[in-house]
Amino acid sequence: MKICTKNHHHWSLLDSLPHDKNGAGKYKCAGCAYEKGFKAGKNKEESLNIDLDKLHESQSGTMQYKSPHAAFAQGYVDGINNS
């Protein structure tokens, strides 16, 4: 999978999310997971699939090791709040 080239790597809103040091989401981009969750929340999707394999790999920086699961969930809530 390609390394993420989007510029969401330093979003402060993801600062409080837990890290994923050893889990399946370790090298996955939490920013992409957040955007995916946000979209799902906005559409009020009821069948959620984080689909880790389809996320870009994270670059080094603060986003690395952030849990994509938590990022997706945060995005989902924020998406609902914005819908």
Q: How many residues bind Zn ion (CB under 5 A)?
A: 6
Rounded to an integer, what distance in angstroms lies between the CA atom of residue 26 and that of residue 39? 22
Rounded to an integer, what distance in angstroms lies between the CA atom of residue 46 and that of residue 17? 23
Residues 44-63 that bind Zn ion (CB under 5 A): 56
Tokens of 22: 């050893």
Of 15-23, 32-40, 43-51, 69-77, which part binds Zn ion (CB under 5 A)? Answer: 32-40
Q: Per CB under 5 A, does 4 bind Zn ion?
A: yes
Residues that bind Zn ion (CB under 5 A): 4, 6, 29, 31-32, 56
